[in-house]
Homo-oligomer: A and B are copies of this chain.
């Protein structure tokens, strides 16, 4: 069984390494718009062969689309046109509604499974790929009633093999929730990075001297790849705007307490935030 990976970056590369480690599939073939990624993918043993997209589509039993969400939207319908009814294709994009919407009426819609393995890190490219990236994390499968049972089964097997827990919801729910869980934290982190870079623009030495672990964790996501993230923000624009607004309301609440010296309320605000301790992280 050939596994075709379209997009040999962090996610595509990690899925290939994970599946190889757990002996899922026989031959791994791949393609990437970036020639350097293709070279690295061969060197790192992510895929056996680099082959043209058209050949990959025809030769693969399972196709994994791990490219930016706008590119998934643009290419998916065309890929569906060419595959047989035995092929399974899944994407790994961080937004799901637009992708599902675009192919809603496609005659081969049932061969597609919309998935989002929640495991991104700020690094990108095949050199960051890790067979263990998905270990004990969650994968969301969206609008599963629109996929054929055998396609869902294959997708579930792929993620389960890599020790992920699979969760089901609609693509609309996914995009709303993920705007808070992932997209908002990225906006916050990009904005904090720009705030401190601007503030310390002429005081670089002091900045380098003072960087502490607090800023390190809160600006981690600010290192994320714009090529991945711009299409996500565009695709999930309305939800992200609402999440930012809800967040600014909270920031202003803290700010007003501080301005009005409502220190008891600040204490309460922090105690409530402390409850995040009790949440299970994946």
Contacts and interface: CB of A to CB of B under 8 A. Distances in A.
Interface of A: 118-121, 137-138, 140, 165, 167, 169, 173, 177-178, 180-182, 184-200, 203, 206-224, 226, 229-230, 233-234, 237, 240-241, 243-248, 250-255, 258-259, 261, 263, 266-267, 269-277, 279-282
Contacts of A199: 180, 243, 246
Given A194-B272, A218-B218, A263 B234 contact: yes
A215 B185 contact: yes
A9 to B, nearest CB: 16
22 contacts: A118-B212, A118-B213, A119-B212, A177-B203, A177-B206, A177-B210, A180-B200, A185-B214, A186-B214, A191-B251, A195-B243, A195-B250, A196-B276, A197-B273, A211-B282, A213-B281, A213-B282, A217-B220, A217-B221, A226-B271, A244-B258, A248-B255
Contact of A279 (B207, B220, B254, B280): B207
Nearest to A121: B213
B222 A191 contact: no
Contacts of A218: 185, 188-189, 217-218, 220-221
A154 to B, nearest CB: 22
Nearest to A182: B214
Given A221-B218, A263-B230, A195 B270 contact: no
B194 A181 contact: no
B233 A244 contact: no
A217 B246 CA distance: 20
B140 A273 contact: no
Nearest to A209: B167
A190 B277 CA distance: 12
